[in-house]
């Protein structure tokens, strides 16, 4: 018995010292000290010994147990130390970390939120509406007579209405956000101030300053005693808030079927500060909007009495504003998903 205990001790100690990892050590623990482990079984045999031998062998068995437990404990802490040492070698805390990719708003969205903020501060609400439109809201309500040459200015994309119940020529992709004058004014009662940003479509050859789809925003206000100077003051305020206080706006007279009188607005070139550059085609000014007093026919078409209410309206190329603000020399960059471009704005 004595010999057996010594043998158990020796073999346990040498196996424990050789253990390569924690798992192997756990297995050994079970193999020697577990319920049917070698030492446990040997201790159970103690009862079979003659009485006078028991205390001595019992003490030896205890010593063996303690030695095995201590060896396991020591080996365990050595293994833990080795593991953290290895990890330390693997993790070089001096290597610069990997910066997580953080997205940001698309330049068009930045401009859009900017515009909404300025007009919100002037009491304008924001609305949106359908890109697929009817002739009625794109033209009819807006005082474009049928077959009138003014429609030609709006290079319209017509939808194929084959096999549908729509009359040919009735359904189109909206050419301007002015469609939302009729759609909203029909529903709400004056006074109101509204802006409508959105995508519009034109049958147009694309180049650096023209796209077949681009963003606009429409703005209009209807109230009592609204005048042309309210329109000019509002646009002047917007331009200064949007581009910076030193930016100027100038107006030229124009003609739109849905406004009378009408104007066109130009901002001083933010790139060259009116000196003349490629961006403004050497003129120092960039055309950005059209506007005017809402035509009485339009108010009548939406059920608002023009003898009691007046309004102004304007439409701006949001994409144009974005390229100007970010000094992009090509409108198409706004629809290019290349991150090397987008990350610059």
Closer CB to ligand DAH, 71 or 178, in the complex: 178
CB 166 → ligand DAH: shortest distance, Å?
A: 23
Report the number of secondary-structure helices (H) and strands (E) in the chain. Answer: 11, 10
- If the CB atoms of residues 23 and 187 are measured against ligand DAH, the closer one turns out to be 187
Closer Cβ to ligand DAH, 72 or 313, answer by number: 313
What is the smallest separation between the CB atom of 290 and ligand DAH, expressed in angstroms? 3
**C-beta of 318 vs 328, nearer to ligand DAH:** 318
Rounded alpha-carbon distances, angstroms, from residue 193 to 61, 224, 234, 305, 338: 95, 12, 12, 17, 37
Closest residue to ligand DAH: CB criterion: 315
Least Å distance between CB 102 and ligand DAH?
36
Beta bridge partners of 286: 267
Shortest spacing between CB 198 and ligand DAH, in angstroms: 11
* Encoded tokens for 219: 């703005």
The 8-class DSSP code of residue 137 comes to I
Least distance CB 146 / ligand DAH (angstroms): 18
Helix (H, G, I), strand (E, B) or coil at 180: helix
Cβ proximity to ligand DAH: between 176 and 320 the closer is 176
User: 281: Cβ–Cβ under 8 A, 6 or more apart, which residues?
Assistant: none
Beta strand pairing call for 171-173 and 192-201: unpaired
Q: Is 342 left (phi over 0), alpha (psi -120 to 50) or beta?
A: alpha
Closer residue to ligand DAH in complex, CB, 37/315: 315
Measure the N-to-C terminal CA separation of the chain; round to a whole number of Å. 84
**Least distance (Å) from ligand DAH to the CB of residue 226?**
13
Structural contact between residues 191 and 121, judged by C-beta atoms closer than 8 angstroms = no
Nearer to ligand DAH, 276 or 296 (CB): 296
Quote the least distance from Cβ 127 to ligand DAH, whole Å: 14
Q: Which residues lie near ligand DAH (CB under 6 A)?
A: 176, 178, 218, 256, 259, 290-292, 313-315
Q: 213-223 and 249-256 as β-strands: parallel, antiparallel, unpaired?
A: unpaired
Q: Which residues contact 173 (CB under 8 A, 6 or more apart)?
A: 131, 132, 133, 156, 157, 159, 200, 201
């Amino acid at each position: 018995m004595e010999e057996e205990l010594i043998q158990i001790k020796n073999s346990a100690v040498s196996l424990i010292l050789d253990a390569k990892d924690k798992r192997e050590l756990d297995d050994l623990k079970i193999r020697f000290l577990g319920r049917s482990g070698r030492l446990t079984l040997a201790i159970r045999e103690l009862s079979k010994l003659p009485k006078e031998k028991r205390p001595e062998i019992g003490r030896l068995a205890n010593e063996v147990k303690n030695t095995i437990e201590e060896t396991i404990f020591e080996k365990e802490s050595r293994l833990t130390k080795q593991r953290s040492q290895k990890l330390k070698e693997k993790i070089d805390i001096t290597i610069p970390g990997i910066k997580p990719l953080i997205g940001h708003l698309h330049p068009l969205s930045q401009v859009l939120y900017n515009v909404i903020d300025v007009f919100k501060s002037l009491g304008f609400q924001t609305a949106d509406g359908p890109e697929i439109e009817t002739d009625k809201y794109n033209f009819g309500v807006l005082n474009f007579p049928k077959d009138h040459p003014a429609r030609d200015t709006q290079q319209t994309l017509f939808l194929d209405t084959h096999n549908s119940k729509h009359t040919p020529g009735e359904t189109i992709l909206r050419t301007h956000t002015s469609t939302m004058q009729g759609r909203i004014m029909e529903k709400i009662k004056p006074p109101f101030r509204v802006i409508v940003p959105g995508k519009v479509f034109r049958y147009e050859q694309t180049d650096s300053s023209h796209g077949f789809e681009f963003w606009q925003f429409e703005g209009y206000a209807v109230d009592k005693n609204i005048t042309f100077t309210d329109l000019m003051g509002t646009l002047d305020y917007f331009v200064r808030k949007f581009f910076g206080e030193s930016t100027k706006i100038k107006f030229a007279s124009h003609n739109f079927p849905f406004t009378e009188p009408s104007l066109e607005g130009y901002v001083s070139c933010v790139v060259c500060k009116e000196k003349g550059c490629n961006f403004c085609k050497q003129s120092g000014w960039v055309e950005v909007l059209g506007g005017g007093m809402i035509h009485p026919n339009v108010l009548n078409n939406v059920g608002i009495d023009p003898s009691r209410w007046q309004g102004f309206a304007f439409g701006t190329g949001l994409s144009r504003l974005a390229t100007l603000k970010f000094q992009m020399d090509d409108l198409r960059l706004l629809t290019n998903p290349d991150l090397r471009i987008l990350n610059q704005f």
